[in-house]
A = this chain, B = another copy of it.
Amino acid sequence: MSGNWRPPSSTDVARAAGVSQSAVSRAFTPGARIAQATRAKILEAAEALGYRPNLLPKILQTNRSGIVAVVVGGFYNPYFAMTLEAFSKALTARGLQMMLVRVESDRILDGVVDQLAGYRVDAVVSALALTSQDAADQLSKLRIPIVTLNSDLAGDWIRSVSSDNFAAGAAAARLLYERGGTRFGFVAGPADSPAQVAREAGFAHGLEALGLPPAMRAGGGYDHASGARAARDLFAGAERPDALFCANDLAAFGVIDVLREDFCLTPPGDVLVIGYDNLDMAQWAPYRLTSFDQDIEAHVATAMELLDLEAGATCVARVVPSRLVERESTRRG
């Protein structure tokens, strides 16, 4: 019908209630000085018109939008879903809205930054590890606080929260050794993931500290298919490993599936397997996977703390320890 309908404004309500616009504003501002009778009259008129205060003018003045942008790289991994859920809860608890931004790679630069700046988002949280210092600088220039997960960038406005990936890698080496592993293998994640790099380095360090030979290596992705491929590679040769640390759970599942299917090998009897992330699926019967729980709640809580920090306060990268959850996949005998 009316091609250019506009939602009712405070002025409309004011007219309907026979008061001034400022009175309407006060009626919707908790703690403002307004007579009860006036307020009631205004609320009634507002209800009739279906009035909802427009938040934009306020944002325009204060430059605080109440919106936090969350950047993710994709949803294939349930770990992202868990992170998203945790952030969603934390933000909602603070009355903030979440703007979800999905980027193919962290070449975020293409326009997304402009958009975020344009909407005056209060902060940016990146579940995707930012690896490009360039992108970081871009964001930094906007004076928008940024928190990155499992990244190792630094900058005036960049704060970072990471799992203690290195320590976990070392712990994985120790556990596999204690459970009787003798020939070790590492199923790698993508090379551009700082978490992957740290986990591998920690694992290597752990093995070395125990005086063990370095691990065989395969893989290169965080998904099931990549883990499956890695398993085929590792077990095709004569010298088969008997203890595997996988960069994440999803890859570990791929490994286990292939071992059982193609090689008739089952953990923990034939091979020990450890993953990372402690997904729900890690408890499922076909897997019962020993894994590192990243304690997402703690990650998120820390991230929120860091967002509250003032201005360009320099701050150390926070590290959250991962908790080892042992299940059948490493319980031998």
Q: Which residues of A contact B (CB under 8 A)?
A: 1, 5-7, 50, 52-57, 59-60, 63, 67, 70, 74-76, 78, 80-82, 84-85, 88-89, 92, 97-102, 113-115, 117-120, 141-143, 224, 253, 257-258, 260-261, 280-281, 284-286, 311
Contacts and interface: CB of A to CB of B under 8 A. Distances in A.
A7 B85 CA distance: 31
B55 A119 contact: yes
A253 B50 CA distance: 47
A56 B50 contact: no
Nearest to A2: B311
Contact of A285 (B97, B260, B311): B260
A173 to B, nearest CB: 28
Given A52-B142, A118-B52, A118-B55, A102 B88 contact: yes
B99 A97 contact: yes
A224 B76 CA distance: 18
Given A89-B102, A257-B286, 14 more contacts: A1-B311, A52-B114, A53-B114, A56-B59, A74-B85, A75-B82, A76-B85, A76-B280, A81-B81, A97-B99, A97-B119, A98-B99, A258-B285, A261-B285
A88 to B, nearest CB: 4
Contacts of A102: 85, 88-89, 92
Contact of A100 (B50, B98, B120, B257): B98
Contacts of A117: 7, 52
A7 B81 contact: no
B284 A142 contact: no
A101 B119 CA distance: 17
Contact of A54 (B6, B118, B281): B118
A7 B63 contact: yes
25 contacts: A7-B63, A7-B120, A7-B142, A7-B143, A52-B114, A52-B117, A53-B114, A54-B60, A54-B118, A55-B119, A56-B59, A56-B60, A57-B60, A60-B60, A74-B85, A76-B280, A80-B81, A92-B102, A97-B99, A97-B119, A98-B99, A100-B100, A253-B284, A260-B286, A286-B286
Nearest to A138: B50
A142 B50 contact: yes
A271 to B, nearest CB: 16
Contacts of A59: 56
A44 to B, nearest CB: 16
Nearest to A1: B311
Contacts of A89: 102
Nearest to A261: B285
A222 to B, nearest CB: 13
A311 B1 CA distance: 8
Contact of A75 (B57, B85, B99, B120): B85
A263 to B, nearest CB: 12
Contacts of A81: 75-76, 78, 80-81
Contacts of A67: 99, 119
Contacts of A84: 75, 100
Nearest to A250: B280
